Structure 1
Amino acid sequence: MKKKLSVLAFLFILMNGKAQFSVCEDYNKTPELQSSLCVTLNVPLAYGTDMDETIELFVRKFPAQKERKGSIWLVAGGPGESGASLYPVVGQFAELFPDLDIFVPDHRGTGLSGKICPKEESVESVGGIALVGEEWGSCFGYMFSHQEYVKTFSITNAAKDLGYLINELSGEGKHYVYGVSYGTQLVLRLLQLGPLELDGVFLDSLVPLQDDMEYDLGHRSFVTHSVGQELLEYYDGKAGKESPSLSEQLKTIIKRSKGDDAFAQNLPKQDISILFGMMLDLPTVRRKIPEIIRSLSKDDAGPLNSAIAEITAFYRDYGEKYSTSSNSIPLAQVITASENNPRPQLKKSEVVEESKGLLFTSPLPKLIAENTMPTYDHDAYFAGVPEKMPPTLIIHGSLDPKTHWEGAKRHVEKLSDKGSIEFVTVRNAPHFIALFAPDAFKEAVMAFLEGKSIAGNEVVDTNVALD
């Protein structure tokens, strides 16, 4: 076996040669991509197995703006998000690291890298990389008839991809890695695989441990609700003795939306608690929650509809410029069902029952319940932590409705004896600090690079202020 693997490794290196970046095909479509260079490499489909197939990986590079001193890799979240989800913040990283090359890869299964459904998720398909219409059925059919292929789209194989890319493309100088959300899980899996020479790691919105049964994806609605409740308590405290409280008013609104037809007919079709859960992600909308609740209590749905329009516009505008922005639903389903849903037996009806009484909820628990897609088995890295950590900055929002601050803290405690770990909280920030709290992100990163401590390990940012 060792001989065969060494031959495969030789052929694999020979096939890629020395990777050469070239001008990207889409370089002239958006200003922020004009300086970027692109490359596609072939890597093993399944590392360390008898399978000899390869898969393509796409990487976009933004060359250093000043004299080059190293590189930083930006690892997107998801699972299912391509590197395009980080293109809007590349300029921010270029300001922070003007002397570093910035690399943004597409995980296997996303963007311009090889897909789980090669035909249906192709850029040239009817809906582009997003599944539309009959593509859903044919894609799922392909997954069931190619289950061994689908199983290669694991976190560990994606981490091995990332390790290869870093070693192959980074060049001389200092090497840093940034990951956000699921990207933090992928980076930590990378560090579990073995020694990797990195000068620093930045983990933004750290996911909970895989065996944390309180903050897992199946309990996402409870996480969202707890953050929403904290927010309402803040606004109630600021308003004084408002009666009924915002929580009581929202509870009445949700009840009326389900039993008062005259009231419900003026509301969106989506569950009210899910809509309020979505508002927690965007600071500009989050500030309007008290007004929205008070207006709905007076049968005025105007502010609610305006908030929904603002949320829709944000997500539309955030990624519409990039042809590879759409998430890969097949990849998200496979990874989530295989590794990130510790209650796979839970039924959708049980999720609904569990969520009764919650004022802020997430659609995710119901979406991942009763999975029917192919899955892969846990490997030796599941629910583990790296034996050794490079110098690491973990930065997390105190009002993160996706990856709860307490879940992140528990994870940090497991990592604390593995190396030099700094855990910085951004007061009142939601998920994705680099995007929504850029000033705090810069402050924390600069202090980390200069070897300075943050007073109280907490920073503030007016971008995420509640008032």
Structure 2
Amino acid sequence: MKLFNIIILVATVIHAVGAFQAQHPQLNGWYPCADNTFSDAGSSDSVSAECATYVAPLCYPGICKTPQFATPHVNIFVKRMLATKGDAKTATNVWLLQGGPGDGSSGLEGSMIVLHNELKGAANIYTMDHRGTGRSTFLDCVAAQYPLEGSMIALHTELKGAANIYTMDHRGTGRSTFLDCVAAQATTTGSPDGNSIKPSEVPACAQALENEYGDLASFSVTSAATDVVTFISKFTNGANTIVYGVSYGTVLVERIMHLNPLEVTGYVLDGVATSSGSSVAKFQYMSRFDVDFGEVGDYFLSLCTKDPSCSAHFKRPNTLQKTLQNVLKSFDKHPNSSCATVMSKFDMGFTILEGTHLSKPTPSMGLRYMLGRLLMNEGLRKFIPLVVYRLSRCDKNDIKALTQFVTAISQIDSTADQEEAFTSLLLYYLIIFSEMWETPQPSMSVMESRFNRNLRHVINWVTVTMLHMA
């Protein structure tokens, strides 16, 4: 009996010590580390960056309460490039925050180097793996496309080492505590939907995560923002600090603004993914992405009329947009035609919803989705008029060229880079559906109606395919 009581006492003390340490963040670092994490981003002998992890509470006060069974802390990975011009202890600090949600910070390393060089080493540059991603505590179901590391390096180089540059793996991603379904094995390559997750896997994965962490508000945007604010306050030089976010990173930056850290004197939002303060009808919900994306696609197509080389191939009334509409109608009417058959070979790269009209994607749907992929890529969107022109003409040479093009684009989409290892798809879904989705949740019929009504937009995304995860 005494032995049992001693075991209980020791366990209680260990948990109390863990809780104390979690509430009082501890830094393990700094250590010299390579500028680039992955070889496909570039390798060198340079170890001018520094890396560290720090212990953060699983739950901050007012956000969630750590259950007795859960580990009371998560690990957060941080990387920095210190100013080489002047004194790093008094230099400006620049933070680079990754998008996603769910991506680790390794993609920002290039920007860190450029910024550091541009500032001539006069500022400290930081980045961080959001909790649940990358090298921080990784959010994964164990129980049941913005490279920032490159940006970090590029920025440090561009600023000529005049600032300290930091980045961080958002909790749940990368080298921070990673959000993953390890116990349920839901996102392994051998699971039913590979690295993705099928609806049938969700209940077990969700139960596994709840059993491990309790309230998943511990991986919320506010928890991640508090990680950044806490780190800035406790572990940087207290000097002028600027925080930059890209894509989802702008959502994180906005939450940091709400926390109002005294050290931060400037914010930069690049590729804004938030619209707080707007009306519900105008709010940037991911569940309305089909409609929003279609409007952007329409605007892009309209620019053809202002470009002499483009408009020369699309004479009024057969503008680029009108020509594309005719191609889509032709595909729907003749799905076995030569060019429709070419488009049917395009790999859309995700599981189409069973039991809906999307369960058997048509050539026109594949074309719209492929053009949407091209539109999102600055280097590839210029091919959209060329693809539409060849699809409209569709002669022997066009079929050959289009076949090669579709094959190449499919290969680009299917080729995994090393940084994907730091991405937590579960954190992506958790934040999207918890904080960036309409409430109450739109029904499947509403989502399909938006998609069908959105046929007037000839380029679009297929947000409706995400609904089975909500």
Q: Fold conserved (TM > 0.5)? A: yes
Superposition pairs of residues 247-266 of structure 1, within 5 angstroms = 247-260=321-334, 261-263=336-338, 264-266=340-342
Give 1:62's aligned residue.
81
Which residue in 1 is equivalent to 2:429?
Answer: 333
Q: CA deviation at 1:155?
A: 1.0
Q: 1:209 to 1:228 in 2, by over 3 A?
A: same
Task: State whether residues 290 and 450 of structure 2, in contact with CA within 8 Å, keep that contact through their aligned partners in structure 1.
Answer: no
Q: In 2 relative to 1, CA 308–71 (structure 1 residues): closer, same or farther, beyond 3 Å?
A: farther
Q: Which residue of 2 aligns with 1:445?
A: none
Task: Name the counterpart of 1:424.
Answer: none
1-structure distance, mates of 2:66, 2:430: 20
Q: Distance in 2 between matches of 1:116 and 1:321?
A: 18
- Find the residue that maps to 2:140 and give its secondary structure: coil
Is residue 356 of structure 1 aligned with residue 366 of structure 2? no
Q: Equivalents in 2 of 1:76, 1:23: separation in Å?
A: 22
For residue 146 of structure 1, what is the aligned residue in structure 2? 209
State the Cα deviation string for residues 110-165 of structure 1 (Å, max 9, x = none): 11111222648689x8xx99742327477862322433343321111111111112
Q: Distance in 2 between matches of 1:223 and 1:28?
A: 34
**Is 1:245 aligned with 2:308?**
no
Answer whether contact 1:277 1:360 (CA < 8 A) is retained.
yes
Larger Rg: 2
Instruction: Name 1:169's counterpart in structure 2.
Output: 235
Q: Does 1:86 align with 2:86?
A: no
- The within-5 A match list for 1:367-406 is 367-372=465-470
Aligned residue type for 1:133: G
| Alignment pair present for 1:31 and 2:43 | yes
Distance, in Å, in 2 between the alignment partners of 1:167 and 1:105 is: 15
Task: Call closer, same or farther: CA 1:336–1:22 in 2, change over 3 Å.
Answer: same
8 A contact 1:84–1:324 mirrored in 2: no
Deviation of the 1:358 alpha carbon: 2.0
Aligned partners of 1:232 and 1:247 also within 8 Å: yes
In 2: Cα distance, 1:106 partner to 1:222 partner? 31
1:294 to 365, 368, 389: 389
Of residues 130, 133, 146, the one that matches 2:190 is 133
Could you tell me which amino acid in structure 2 is paired with residue 257 of structure 1? F
C-alpha displacement of 1:105: 0.5
2:144 aligned with 1:103 = no
1:223 equivalenced with 2:279 (yes/no): no
Which of the residues 12, 22, 43 maps onto 1:12? 22
Specify whether residues 20 and 141 from structure 1 end up closer, same or farther in structure 2 by C-alpha distance, changes over 3 A only.
same
Q: Is the 8 A contact 1:117 1:139 kept in 2?
A: no
Aligned to 1:462: none
Q: Which has the bigger relative contact order, CA under 8 A and spacing at least 6?
A: 1
Scaled by the length of structure 1, what TM-score is found?
0.68
Match of 2:66 among 51, 54, 79: 51
Equivalent positions of 1:433-452 (< 5 A) are none
**Unaligned segments of structure 1, at least 5 residues:** 1-5, 373-467
User: Residue in 1 aligned with 2:417?
Assistant: 320
The answer to whether the Cα contact below 8 Å between 1:337 and 1:368 also exists between their aligned partners in 2 is no
Query: Quick check: 1:122–1:129 contact (8 Å CA) kept in 2?
Result: no
CA-CA distance at 1:229 after TM superposition: 1.7
- The answer to whether the 8 Å contact 2:140/2:424 transfers is no
- Would you say the 8 A contact 2:131–2:138 is kept in 1? yes
- 2: CA distance, partners of 1:180 / 1:27: 20
Which segment drifts farther, 162-171 or 288-297? 162-171
Give the 3 Å change call, closer, same or farther, for CA 58–283 of structure 1 in structure 2.
Answer: same
Aligned-residue sequence identity (percent) comes to 22
Q: Which deviations, in whole Å up to 9, do the C-alpha atoms of 1:181-218 show, x marking residues without a partner?
A: 11111111112124432132111112232564334222
One of 432, 440, 443 as aligned partner of 1:346: 443
Following TM superposition, by how much is the alpha carbon of 1:55 offset from its aligned partner in structure 2, in angstroms? 0.8
Name the SS of the counterpart of 1:66 in structure 2: coil
Secondary structure at the aligned position of 1:146 is classed as helix
SS at match of 1:21: strand
In the alignment, the residues of structure 2 paired with residue 309 and residue 107 of structure 1 have an alpha-carbon distance, to the nearest angstrom, of 35
| CA distance, structure 1, for counterparts of residue 133 and residue 306 of structure 2 | 45
Q: Deviations over 1:55-114 (max 9, x none)?
A: 111112223243331321100011111102322322322233332222110101111111
Q: 1:213 maps to what in 2?
A: 281
Tell me the residue number matched to 1:277: 372
Describe the superposition over 1:263-318 as per-residue Cα deviations: whole angstroms up to 9, x where unpaired. Answer: 3222234421111111112222222221111101112245555555665676788x
Name the CA shift for 1:104/1:367 in 2 (closer, same or farther; >3 Å).
farther
Report the alpha carbon displacement of residue 167 of structure 1 after superposing the two structures with TM: 1.7
How far apart, in 1, do the equivalents of 2:401 and 2:280 lie? 37
Instruction: Give the counterpart letter for 2:459 in structure 1.
Output: F
TM-score normalized with structure 2 length: 0.67
Partners of 2:122 and 2:407 in 1: CA distance: 40
In structure 2, relative to structure 1, the CA distance for the partners of 1:78 and 1:281 (3 Å cut) is same
User: Which SS does the other structure have where 2:134 is aligned?
Assistant: coil
Q: Report SS of the residue matched to 2:380.
A: helix
Distance 1:243 1:44 in 2: 62
Q: CA deviation at 1:335?
A: 0.9
Q: For residues 93 and 311 of structure 1, do their structure 2 counterparts lie closer, same or farther at Cα, with a shift above 3 Å needed?
A: farther
* Cα distance change of structure 1 residues 190 and 106 upon mapping to structure 2, 3 Å threshold: same
Q: 1:312 to 1:75 in 2, by over 3 A?
A: farther
**Structure 1 residues 258, 328: closer, same or farther in 2, change over 3 A?**
farther
